[in-house]
Amino acid sequence: MNRTQHGNASFSPDLDNDLSSFVSFLAFLHILTILLTTLGNSLVITVIVRSHKLRTITSGFLLNLAVSDMAAGLFLLPFAAGSTLNPNLSYGHVPCTLLGFLYTLLCFASTWTLACISLERFVAINSPLKYHQLVDRRRAIIAIALIWLGATLNAAFPFAEQEHEAYAFLPQYTFCLLNYHSHVVTAIVIPILAIFVPLGIMCYTYVSIGRIACSHAKRKIVECNKEHCMFVAPKTKDYRAAKILAVMAGVFLVCWIPFTILSLWQANANTDFPFILTATSLWLTFLSSAINPWLYSLLNRTFRQALRSQGVRLLRSAGILRPGPGGLGNAGKVLNNGNRVDMAVRTSCKDILLDHPRGRAANDNLEDGGGGDIAETDCAGSLHEALASTVSGSLMRIESL
């Protein structure tokens, strides 16, 4: 029987048929994760780079997240799948050290980018008037540079202890990772800096944003259809933003906490956990690279619109989608519908301004050439966004003036 040993731990993937079936299933999950990671992150990178509407601070952090996750899918996941199928596969000292270094580097870059995204959204929602003073392009670039500098130092920290190998193949995980058994102090410091600190930042910011979203949901809202708008009581769907934030924090916890706890436990107690548990916890960390692009980018309305626009351009350039006999075809219909929506928005906005006490004063100032154009512009922007995303005859809810 082939057996790979590490310290006091022993592991054999062919102990029984059930374990062999699990190894095959886990390898299939790794391959599927590679496909999802590559597809999702390449899509995010392409859309952000080619779309001028996405040249924002948030998109910069999303691009950095996609790059780090894409690197994990290309340089780490294939080796994880191969070593899962063949745990006796020997990488050699240098390749194994490089794999462990890249895993720690990309882990730190991904988690801290998520923390920066949560901080940027927290500032935008909690202090919108001071957002441009606190967050600008230069500071975002500095933050991204510090993320990669910190990731490099964090991954290089185990080399400070020269008595033992910094990274080694751990058969419990069937992958090259930090040598937890020989670097106890490092095994405690790295998870704290790479996982628990960004997790604390995310929890604080998302809880604060969720409270703000729930307080906004209690305000009066406006429902609009093609004919008119009316003030109505808020509904349960107004808490969607808070639920999305809870999902984001939950995904982070599920993907990273099991592996972190197991590695810390093994470093301090030298305990051997079942292979199914340790291998699954490692796969969950790779799964986060596949989930991040779909969770953080495709839930963004501006990103979806840019993706749809670029998809239409690609289909037209390939000759699959062609203009109709009327000249502009579908594009002309979209433009005409946009003009009709814009006219409807202006009419509906003026009606709301006249019906609302604060709106009447704004409308009077507008007619007198005063500063009421700001109120009408905000109203028009909100209604235009609502009407543009509504299905024919359906009601959309927007916040009250």
Does the residue 212 lie in any domain?
A: yes
CATH number at residue 180: 1.20.1070.10
Residue for token digits 């048929």?
17
DSSP per position, 33-65? HHHHHHHHHHHHHHHHHH-GGG-SHHHHHHHHH
Rounded to 5 degrees, φ, ψ at 173 are -105, -10
Residue 342 and residue 307 in one domain:
no
Does the residue 359 lie in any domain?
A: yes
Residue 365 and residue 248 in one domain:
no
Residue 207 and residue 272 in one domain:
yes
Does the residue 226 lie in any domain?
A: no
Residuewise pLDDT in 10s, the chain (401 residues)? 333 344 344 444 444 566 888 888 999 999 999 999 999 999 899 888 888 888 888 889 999 999 999 999 999 999 999 888 886 777 788 899 999 999 999 999 999 999 999 899 888 888 888 888 899 999 999 999 999 999 999 999 888 877 778 898 888 888 999 887 777 788 888 999 999 999 999 999 888 887 877 776 666 555 566 666 665 555 444 456 666 777 888 888 999 999 999 888 877 776 778 888 999 999 999 999 999 988 877 677 777 888 788 777 777 777 776 655 444 444 444 444 444 444 444 444 444 444 444 444 333 433 344 443 333 344 444 444 443 343 333 333 333 33
Does the residue 320 lie in any domain?
A: no
In this prediction, residue 346 carries a pLDDT of 43
Domain-terminating residue out of 311, 344, 362: 311
Does the residue 322 lie in any domain?
A: no
Residue 391 and residue 276 in one domain:
no
Q: How far apart are CA 156 and CA 133, in angstroms?
A: 35
Residue 38 and residue 67 in one domain:
yes
Residue 257 and residue 365 in one domain:
no
In this prediction, residue 41 carries a pLDDT of 93
Residue 381 and residue 259 in one domain:
no
Residue 289 and residue 357 in one domain:
no
Tokens of 293: 């692009």
Rounded to 5 degrees, φ, ψ at 398 are -135, 165
Rounded to 5 degrees, φ, ψ at 372 are -75, -5
Does the residue 225 lie in any domain?
A: no
- Which structural domain, as residue segments, surrounds residue 379? 327-399
Residue 257 and residue 150 in one domain:
yes
In this prediction, residue 218 carries a pLDDT of 64
Q: How far apart are CA 355 and CA 318, in angstroms?
A: 50
**Nearest to 29, CA basis, from 275, 285, 294:** 285
Does the residue 216 lie in any domain?
A: yes
Q: How far apart are CA 316 and CA 61, in angstroms?
A: 31
Residue 280 and residue 351 in one domain:
no
Q: Domains in the chain: how many in total?
A: 2
Domain-terminating residue out of 253, 281, 311: 311
Domain-terminating residue out of 261, 281, 311: 311
Residue 344 and residue 375 in one domain:
yes
Residue 300 and residue 385 in one domain:
no
Tokens of 358: 């604060």
